[in-house]
Amino acid sequence: MTNVIEARGLTKRYGKYKAVDSIDLEVPAGRIVGLIGPNGAGKTSALKAILGLTNFEGELKVLGKDPSRDRAALMEDVCFIADVAVLPRWARVWQLLEFTEKIHPRFRREKCEAYLKTTKVRMDHRVKQLSKGMVAQLHLAIVMAIDVRLLVLDEPTLGLDILYRKQFYTNLLNDYFDEQRSILITTHQVEEVEHILSDLVFIQEGKIALDCTMDDVQERYIELMATPETIEAARALNPLFERVLFGRHIFLYENADRAKLSALGELHTPSVADLFVATMSNGGEA
């Protein structure tokens, strides 16, 4: 399988501080990858390197190209939506579409217009007249109408209400994603993207703390909600993490004997959010 991103020893320094610390990363084609980490973990610095927006150390190939040397050519196959709107506030919608049509050979204006007809965004609107949710819809409409191989989303629904967030990801799946395209998402709203991810990468203090497929998560990790009388027995089985919810003790295990655990209480597959908290609390080891 072809990888759209390949990094070996990728490092980004700001003075003596390493925002990204010698990470190895592979993103296969046709996958939706969640890059999850706390504030200051190195997510944005990694994205900037991938997009050719900053220099870096180590080896990095995106769609077979070096982002630092071949950014212009790379941007023909990559689109990016940031956490803050970058569309010029003075421009009218029709002007943005006209401009994009002139500068990007793979932009399909009719597809963009067809999507916008399903929204409240009108061609004569100026960007400054649009709500934040409508700006996100406009940005997504433009991006989805460009035939690229990699879409990078950095907190794309930050500040949007739940209706706009759900609509954003529904449209992304139904109207954009296919097995020829790849999507890399960073977000703090992990519960909302969990169901669309195929791969999961946790980053902490510039290092990769977890890198696996969502299928691996279901196979490797299990949560036990122990009964009061089995708490000590559960602890004796060396859980990765323990938390208490409404007085019930919940233990997270990796590659554990599920038959043995089932005798101690209820078993569940951990959510991405719970796995993230456990990984960060254990210093990046899960």
- pTM of the full predicted structure? 0.86
Domain co-membership, 73 together with 9: yes
Structural domain for 127, as ranges: 3-205
Give the CB-side neighbour count of residue 260, counting CA atoms within 13 A: 10
CATH number at 61 reads: 3.40.50.300
Per the domain annotation, does 35 fall within a domain? Answer: yes
> What average pLDDT score do residues 212-217 get?
94
Selected residue with higher pLDDT from 46 and 285: 46
- Residue 138 sits in the same domain as residue 193: yes
Angle between helix axes 132-144 and 109-116 (nearest 10 degrees) is: 150
Residue in the structure block whose two tokens are 């934040």:
132
Among 205, 233, 262, the domain-final residue is 205
Alpha-carbon distance 62 to 5, whole Å? 5
pLDDT-above-70 percentage for the chain:
97
Instruction: State pLDDT tens for residues 217-255.
Output: 999 999 999 999 999 999 999 999 999 988 899 999 999
SS3 readout for 152-165: EEECCCCCCCHHHH
- Asked whether the predicted pLDDT for residue 173 surpasses 80, the reply is yes
Are 155 and 247 found together in one domain?
A: no
